[in-house]
Amino acid sequence: MTSAEHSPSSSSVVDEEIDHFSALAQQWWDPRGPMAPLHAMNPLRTSWVKDHIPRAFFQAEAPPSLLDIGCGAGLASESFAKLGFKTLGVDASAEAISAAEEHQKKAPLPHSAQSLTYKAGNAEELVDQKHQFDVVSALEVIEHVRDPQAFLHLLATLTRPGGYIALSTLNRTVRSFLMAKLGAEYLLRLLPVGTHDWKKFIRPADLDAMASQAGLRLIALNGMSFIPPRWRITRDTSVNYIALFIKD
């Protein structure tokens, strides 16, 4: 891969993916709608991230800053703000950001929460403005971008030295094809058909190798499994998993 392909100015956005999620923007906050799996998984993902960030980050004079890339209509962004992060949610879908801001007006955050703002646009614009954050999250995003390796370089550029990057995604296994693609989209209709492209799922070892190329070091990795009645952190990474990297 050339240095040009690693350039933060190269957009990670795939227009077809953005169109797909923009069409779902008004249903994003419906816990029984097309984003129901994300609603169910969301508390587990965001609490796992906070639990793996050093307590010292939350004992400083200013709260830790967090960039939520591909935030959609703000499910994780709101949770992160409630957990004590000063949060900026960014998404290339203007429709999703509008839905996020509308939900924030209808259901304001509690006074104990940290600030939450949204921005419609590409994360690359933040690189151009030389922004860096204590924590960068990209939850269920990397399997939708144009170039995962370039995307990881983008995340690294947006993270300050000593900061953390949280990623959750899907493993590329036979089991994930049967459960997350065939089962969830076509049989159980838990997700809209076309939500995922199984060929773009990423094995944990491949994610670790690409992250290393971007100057990131893996420090935590867990599976996320639905064990009725809720999602749980497990050692099973064969379908869904979540990882934390540090930028040394």
Helix 75-82 to helix 36-51 angle (10° resolution) is 30
Per the annotation, binding residues are: 45, 70, 91, 139
Cα atoms found within 13 Å of the Cα of residue 239, Cβ hemisphere only:
17
- Cα-based distances in Å from 138 to 32, 68, 77, 169, 193: 23, 6, 11, 9, 22
> What gap in Å lies between CA 184 and CA 115, rounded to an integer?
35
Q: Under DSSP, is residue 213 helix (H, G, I), strand (E, B) or coil?
A: helix
Residues placed in the known binding site for S-adenosyl-L-methionine? 45, 70, 91, 139
Biggest CA pair distance of the chain: 50
User: SS3 for 161?
Assistant: strand
